[in-house]
Amino acid sequence: MATIQQKELQLFSNEVISEVVKARINGISYGENCDVPYDELRYVKVLYFGFDGQTHSGELIVNKLIAEDIVEIFQELYELEYPIEQMVLVDEYDADDNTSMAANNSSAFNYRKIDGTDRISLHSYGMAIDINPRYNPYVRTMDGKTVVTPENGYKYADRALEGDYYINTEDACYLAFTKKGFLWGGEWNNQKDYQHFYKEFK
């Protein structure tokens, strides 16, 4: 188990959205219809332990209400050497959520509707984050058929099978998020979003 050194600790941070970050996301994840003020969002930088066993630098955009929690959660996961494959802004995938998930990219802010609905996602407010989404897919029934998103996560939808990167209620990721008051989509009744942690607006 790793221990965060002082120089590493400085690489865990949250900051206001700079002009540089605005230029990266404007018109992409921060679309033309986005009505979330920039000052409600924070740019978060963390270290994470990759699938390759190496330390990597990750980035997220989240709501300022959860920014400190997110930094502390990822500090804990890094110390535990919890494996995360990739963590870049969804803008690196042109804000296409399906493409980002298929690449197993962990991400947060993206102003968009919930897949298959007309409802705005909590990701639009930076209040949700998806972790290792290919191995922890969104599973639901539509027109009598099981639909798995991303499609290349289909073989990971059966949670009765063993999986190295599965999030469950005994998983370190689940424990780190839920003790900070986050809810988990894997505990929904009518559908399962195993990648999805979120906080609801009060």
Q: Model confidence over 161-197: pLDDT tens digits?
A: 888 899 999 999 999 999 999 999 999 999 999 999 9
Q: What is the pTM of this model?
A: 0.93
CB 197 within 8 A of CB 182: yes
1 occurs within a structural domain:
no
17 occurs within a structural domain:
yes
Tokens 């609905």: give the residue. 117
Please report, for residues 85, 95, 161, the alpha-carbon distance to residue 100 in angstroms, rounded to integers and kept in the order given: 12, 8, 24
91 occurs within a structural domain:
yes
* Number of domains composing the chain: 1
Q: Model confidence over 118-148: pLDDT tens digits?
A: 788 899 999 999 999 999 999 999 888 999 9
Domain residue limits at 155: 6-198
176 occurs within a structural domain:
yes
> CA angle 76-171-180, nearest 5°?
50
12 occurs within a structural domain:
yes
